[in-house]
Amino acid sequence: MRATVIAALCAAVCAFGGPARADENQTYVGPLSSSETQFVQSVQRDLLARFPHVSDAERAGYVRYTSPDDTGAISYANSHWNADPTHPSQLWYDGQGNLMGADFSVLRPSNDPRPNLWGINPGRWYEFNGHVHYVIHNPQTGKTTYDQWIWNRDFAEAGGNVEHPSADTLVKIGRVPDTSYITAIFDFPTQWDLIVWVRPHHPTQLSW
């Protein structure tokens, strides 16, 4: 989905197979200001030093939940959604395991306004609605299926606990035959999201 939203918004998007839509889209996609350039350069230096390869992200607790999107990015999340400049909520890698970029998120539980943080124009942020992500691994075939999700409302209506989602709910609604098929499940709460490419990409995006 990253490439699809980038085409529409000219910047940030999480690497999804399709669940989250930008309910409040970006309102600003202009050139980087001096403070934004400083932020991006700081993030690039830091993340390329600490998480250059996907194995670094996995050791830090980031879990893969997507297939490669149209930009080639594979996303990993750590389920810590109130990010700061040195603790992104997501990291994404190419097929060779090299770092491509990161998502920084701020929770939006009560229709909170756009963040005004880190010298970034608030118009660069956009919103994702809450949903539960999960990864399926078929123990019989060995096939792993990414990009699986369900809206928080639907998960809750099925009796699931959104804040602490369980594979039992997925079995109940027929998504998998047994809990052993689920290798990862987590809530992706409603949030404001900002993307930073740490390698060259589009000049109007938060990149060098």
> Does the model's pTM come out above 0.75?
yes
In a domain, 207, yes or no: no
State which residues form the domain around 157.
131-187
Pairing mode, if any, of strands 144-151 and 99-107? Answer: unpaired
In a domain, 203, yes or no: no
Q: Kindly tell me if the per-residue pLDDT of 11 is higher than 60.
A: no
Percent of the chain with pLDDT over 90: 81
Is residue 113 domain-shared with residue 10, that is, in the same domain?
Answer: yes
Q: Contact, 205 vs 36, CB < 8 A? A: no
Give the model's pLDDT for residue 114.
96
Q: How large is the average pLDDT for residues 104-116?
A: 95
Give the model's pLDDT for residue 43.
96
What is the arrangement of strands in the sheet containing 99-107, beginning at the earlier edge strand? 63-64, 74-77, 90-93, 99-107, 191-197, 126-128
In a domain, 204, yes or no: no
Is residue 37 domain-shared with residue 91, that is, in the same domain?
Answer: yes
Is residue 88 domain-shared with residue 145, that is, in the same domain?
Answer: no
Which run of H or E residues covers position 103?
strand 99-107
Give the model's pLDDT for residue 202.
55
Question: For residue range 53-108, what is the model confidence (pLDDT) as tens digits?
Answer: 999 999 999 999 999 999 999 999 999 999 999 999 999 999 999 999 999 999 99
In a domain, 202, yes or no: no
Q: Kindly tell me if the per-residue pLDDT of 130 is higher than 50.
A: yes
- First and final CA of the chain: distance in angstroms? 22
What is the arrangement of strands in the sheet containing 182-188, beginning at the earlier edge strand? 144-151, 131-137, 182-188
What DSSP character marks residue 22?
Answer: B
Q: Contact, 55 vs 37, CB < 8 A? A: no
Give the model's pLDDT for residue 200.
74
Is residue 73 domain-shared with residue 120, that is, in the same domain?
Answer: yes
Find all residues with CB under 8 Å of 42, minimum gap 6, and list them. 85
Give the model's pLDDT for residue 199.
86
In a domain, 155, yes or no: yes
Question: For residue range 13-43, what is the model confidence (pLDDT) as tens digits?
Answer: 333 334 444 468 889 999 999 999 999 999 9
Find all residues with CB under 8 Å of 49, minimum gap 6, and list them. none
What DSSP character marks residue 180?
Answer: G
CA distance 150 to 166: 12
Number of domains in the chain: 2
Give the model's pLDDT for residue 25.
87
In a domain, 37, yes or no: yes
In a domain, 205, yes or no: no
Is residue 42 domain-shared with residue 115, that is, in the same domain?
Answer: yes
Is residue 125 domain-shared with residue 135, that is, in the same domain?
Answer: no
Give the model's pLDDT for residue 24.
84
Is residue 107 domain-shared with residue 136, that is, in the same domain?
Answer: no
Is residue 179 domain-shared with residue 91, that is, in the same domain?
Answer: no
In a domain, 147, yes or no: yes
